[in-house]
Structure 1
């Protein structure tokens, strides 16, 4: 009896599966790969903590004391991460966010600590925004009518930039989404002898429901939303306009945030940008995978790796992710692979 299938491909027909037959072949033809240096670890340091405090909405992520910050920073650098992005949580807030540019404020103390201990062994980055430091939780100072005053905020950003550069930051992450923020910060840095400090512009930062766990991470004081300055989730072309403006004002790097819901924007930005483009895999994205894995709905590490490869495929040159140290260690062979697909050999 003839056991051949009813339908057969014609002789010489294309068979893409040939390039998927073994792990070695898949590795050889892989279009995108993760490397530890592609991954940047966001870290939270809180004034007054004596021990690190794990977040309920982000399992495995902690608010750090200065001591635990240094310990975990060293481990991340040893794993080969590309850099560390610091967020500071002060004990006292006010309407101007004055702890943000206070040399003895928690963020600037943490920057000095890491720069003194790690030097140039990694790239030390600072979140340059006011939301962690203001009593109202907005990313800028408020006008008398309660709206965010764009131009008054630029003066505050310039002061924060100089303070963070003085503290030793290599890169300043301008996340506030104020018009003209890149030009204001670049001018302030150049005028104070910090010409070599890198400006990372949050060119496309969208008002998003996925920021929820981050608000726990920074003890956010915000009521309401940030829709008058963060971008509308419905708009893509607007992101490219922001990108063009930031680069024209002197941005050295640009970033798209959030990540997975905005891969189309990331791809468009990567195609249009003359400077490196990064992505931020934000708190809500992290929480979804962690809680889904805990519920048994997905296989944790393959899901993490697949999500990160997705950013690379969309054009990201680097990714801020709360898994940076763990994944960097895995890619470096410092931890045992679970054996589940996809494995490090495929990435």
Structure 2
């Protein structure tokens, strides 16, 4: 999944995010060319930016993580929280920008260069990144309040940027169409300031040191349309209660209505769930628009916790655009959890992590140039 908590230590603590243990502050380490080809546009650049070290204490259980405000929801999984101040590294090793980011993902690595995965006892609860400088207007309303601008779970006073949860897999957060038919992208102005909130879970009985790497595809030139992303959650809807779950099979939860505040197009969307989840379906004007479905297991996403084999979500499928939108159109989500097919994940102390999420990340371009 995708983004950054920000502002002050007191506001974060109020959101339940800083209840986790914290260690030395990680910082920028390096920016290098990726050995892999661009995924969307063949002529774009692809780079790896490393930040660290993130020191993860040995698992002792009992710590809270990632909970609270803005629809984040889950506070039942043990882990360690870090605030990362990103003064440089986005497209440059001297500052941030200028560049157009087409997409990117974030992964965690051990000091020896090996990827750190659930199979190695390392779980990404979330990594949330925020562009603190960019104050973009949100394109969706608050849930069930069509006249008030909504808030992105990943915004926190700025604009949400590339982020990740363990269910993101290797697929990037997209700011353009996946098929490469659009040149739209996320414009990073020179010297934009970024921050990230990182919550990692170490299931190992010994301390681990890891590095976070941003894998970004970008161009140094401005885009014809400056796209924006919003991460919306079913938990942002008042009076809807908690997400439904049943040990006997599928259970669905329906959000309230999010109203589009301008004409435009959805270029891409992808759901975010916790283990136990099956899919997040998007409806526009009560008609099915797409469904982002969970895939479980695989070599890197299967491990053992408390003597029990555990297959976590390894990826969520994309909802590909373009999906035309008119001002006043309404979107709602239907979140499905199926505990019979997929049990809840375990916390660091071996108990069920009962806090779950149901979100959709939506990438949107307005009809007019917006930067």
* TM-score > 0.5, shorter chain as reference: no
Query: The TM-score by the shorter chain falls in which range?
Result: under 0.3
Which protein has greater RCO, CA pairs closer than 8 Å, 6+ apart?
2
Bigger fraction of residues in strand:
2
Higher Rg: 1
Bigger fraction of residues in helix:
1
